[in-house]
Amino acid sequence: MKVATSIVIGRTANPNLAAQAVMQAMHKADISIANSVLLLLSSEFANNPQPAIRAAAKAGNCTQVFGCSAAGIFTEDDWVLDAPAAAAMVFSGDVGIQPAKSNLTQQSQQALLTLTAPNAINSTWLNDGHDRYGGVSGDVVGQGPFSVWQNSKGESAGRVEAIFSGVKLATSASHGLKILTKPKKIQSTETFDITQLDNKPPFFALQKAWEAESKGKPAAKDATLPLHLMMAAYANSVEAIMTGEFNQTHLISFDETVGSVTLAQTLQPGQFLSWGIRDSETAQQDLRQITQQLTENLGSKPDFGLLFSCIGRGPFYDGIDHDLNIITQQLPNMPLLGFYGNGEIARIGEHNQLLPYSAVLSLFATHHTK
């Protein structure tokens, strides 16, 4: 088994970038034929990715080319956000990618690598009985165009599902959310408004939590509640929130008069909620723990990895991709491929979830026989 990556940056969306990325990855892997290729292209290719896909297939001497366009792409060596680029991971030997549709019965226990455009997501498909991990294709503003492909051609359905052969998989999501309050039970809601939380109007607990968090921080003095950073973490139990098995949604507005808080998603009475804030240090600590835990779950050193990171995370904090740095420091020289997208997909608790501001890390190790 040989796996390797490469990333190539250009001035224009030239199909040759994809060919170069595949050829350089094959050179690193010391192979002349790839059995499959995972190809990621920057959003400059999204309107017409087919020439680049064909170039990658020709360079790899294979037809199993999977991937999507994204606002930014990266490997273990570099990341790109603002220029035309192509990144490739090539596979040989017993390890490769296969379309999930023709292998679901045989591989029903393996989670599905899922790449999708935003307009192709629906809850029925998302939770059709198969565990999923992956990301949402897109550009910086999330408006498109979006492109996904498999078998070396674009997928009109707007999503692709694939499985890996010959490997063991361990995957998890890092929320990057600093929890500010203990989980409280939702008593009542009105569409998107939380009106009663633990028998009290929720806004006042939210305001108190922000004041405690910002106390002593010069930049936060006299600052209003930063809705763009605040999130609601919710789950069906207290334990799920305490152990990180929660989903999260944006805060849209609040009404100080009645104390209600409007969220981007409808929640139900009986669920539990904690207020949290997006935080770079928490995100880094969380990912360190997840990387270590996934490695332990595999039972051996990972042979390669995939990372799907939110476009509002990664280098957007301070121009440095701390997530990428953490993984390459903990797992040096491991081939890694990923993109910055408009949402991440992972199993949280009993369901697959579409996550905001998260990073979904998947590590793979070859099957070892004794």
What does the block give as tokens for 366? 């070859």
Helical ranges in the chain per DSSP H: 15-29, 50-60, 123-126, 202-214, 238-242, 280-298, 322-330
Report how far residue 234's alpha carbon sits from residue 267's, in angstroms, rounded to the nearest whole number.
8
Query: 32: part of which helix (H) or strand (E)?
Result: none
Claim to verify: residue 313 and residue 197 sit in the same structural domain = no
Claim to verify: residue 11 and residue 54 sit in the same structural domain = yes
Claim to verify: residue 227 and residue 117 sit in the same structural domain = no
Pairing state between β 72-75 and 167-174:
unpaired
CA torsion angle 39 135 126 357 (round to 10): 180
Q: What are phi and psi of 209, to 5 degrees?
A: -65, -40
> pTM (2 decimals)?
0.91
What does the block give as tokens for 274? 């904690």
Q: What is the pLDDT of residue 107?
A: 47
Claim to verify: residue 9 and residue 155 sit in the same structural domain = yes
Domain that holds residue 62: 2-175+282-366
> 194 Cβ partners below 8 Å, 6+ apart?
186, 202, 232, 260, 261, 262, 263, 267, 273
Cβ atoms of 273 and 267 within 8 Å: the answer is: yes
Cβ atoms of 16 and 51 within 8 Å: the answer is: no
Claim to verify: residue 14 and residue 150 sit in the same structural domain = yes
R_g (Cα) of the chain, nearest Å:
21
What are 114-163's pLDDT values in tens digits? 999 888 898 899 988 889 999 999 776 666 788 999 999 988 788 999 99
Report how far residue 11's alpha carbon sits from residue 324's, in angstroms, rounded to the nearest whole number.
24
Number of structural domains found in the chain: 2
Claim to verify: residue 22 and residue 150 sit in the same structural domain = yes
What are 31-40's pLDDT values in tens digits? 999 999 999 9
Q: What is the pLDDT of residue 316?
A: 67
What does the block give as tokens for 304? 């390669």
Cβ atoms of 261 and 162 within 8 Å: the answer is: no
What are 87-102's pLDDT values in tens digits? 999 999 999 999 987 5
Claim to verify: residue 169 and residue 150 sit in the same structural domain = yes
What are 307-344's pLDDT values in tens digits? 999 988 877 667 789 999 999 999 999 999 999 998 99
Instruction: With cut-offs at 50, 70 and 90, classify the pLDDT of residue 105.
Output: low
Claim to verify: residue 201 and residue 148 sit in the same structural domain = no
Which one of 256, 277, 298 terminates a domain?
A: 277
> 347 Cβ partners below 8 Å, 6+ apart?
111, 131, 132, 133, 353
Cβ atoms of 197 and 184 within 8 Å: the answer is: yes
Which one of 252, 277, 302 terminates a domain?
A: 277
